[in-house]
Amino acid sequence: MIIFRKVIIIILLSVPIILNANSTSETITVDPNGEIKSIQKAIDIAQDGDIINVMPGNYKINASTNKSLRIVGKEGKVYFEPEDKGSPVLTLVSSNNFEVEGISFSGDRSLVYCLFSNISLAKCRFNTSGTAVMMSGGTLYLNDNEFNGVKERTKKGYTYAGIALSISSAENIKLLNNSIKHMALGLSISKVDSLKCINNEFSQNVISISLITMDEVRLSKNDFIDNHIAIILSGEGNYYIANNGFIGSTKWDLSLSKENCLFCMNCSYDPFVGTLSGEGNISDTLNFCPDDSSEIISLFKYKN
């Protein structure tokens, strides 16, 4: 009799575990002509793990959440821009897992702001003279996105405005197959544990990449085309730079920031004191700062 009661108790205790294991996420549809028209309303009623499917249209939003959700739109058909131009389009705070796919973002200030969150962006498009993605803490995975800045006239001609990524004190950052174009500063990243930047294209930016005091960095198979400055390294870190292509840099392919550097007229960055390794990089100009640095020259080959 005692054994029989124990069996019943074990079975009853097991039931909730089985039910939870079979639970599935729900899909919430946002449609300008449907029942739910607001992205924020969809976020509010969603539970962790749910999918928000956004129908084609233009949406003015300033949405925020700490939930783990997936927002999906048909690429090239769904547009987000800020209703309040002084606030980000999307704000994430302590979100464990947030995914966005197929959304076009536009605005003049910060578009996506992430604080201590883990976020994935895929097949999205960003057009801004401000900052596309601003992040502190957490992790970021970018795949197949486009970042476009804004061309601005100056007294001497023109320049570009906008920052693709501004990231500090984060953990793991991974960029694959992205396009970053016409930015004042493509990547501005500091104090990150791990950065992998592979198979991306940086074209016609004032500065494509600025890295300050990193732990482990891998830059490989990227194309740098017609930038003013391709890469600036500053502070500490272990950098592996391999099999990248540099075409048409008007100032530097690669700069290791130095104190009282004659080539950059006293760098505003901290001196580079990290380690540098790699191979197979190809340049048509071999413009370096400082230009006599053996640790840079050994990584590059000249190509007409």
Q: What pLDDT, in 10s, does the model give residues 135-166?
A: 999 999 999 999 999 988 877 778 899 999 99
DSSP run (H or E) holding 257: none
Rounded Cα–Cα distance for residues 207 and 198 (Å): 18
**Amino acid 158: pLDDT:** 81
Half-sphere exposure of 108 (CA within 13 A, CB side): 4
**Amino acid 266: pLDDT:** 52
Q: Which tokens sit at 93?
A: 């705070």
Q: 40 with 61: CB under 8 angstroms?
A: yes
Rounded Cα–Cα distance for residues 261 and 263 (Å): 5
Average of per-residue pLDDT across 86-96: 96
Rounded to the nearest integer, the mean pLDDT of the chain is 89
Question: How far is the CA of 169 from the CAs of 176, 219, 281, 292, 301, in angstroms?
Answer: 21, 19, 29, 32, 34
Give the residue among 269, 272, 228 at the shortest CA–CA distance from 252. 228
Global pTM? 0.88
**Amino acid 225: pLDDT:** 98
Backbone φ, ψ for residue 45 (5° rounding): -90, -10
Task: Give the number of other Cβ atoms within 10 Å of residue 24's Cβ.
Answer: 7
DSSP run (H or E) holding 10: helix 2-21
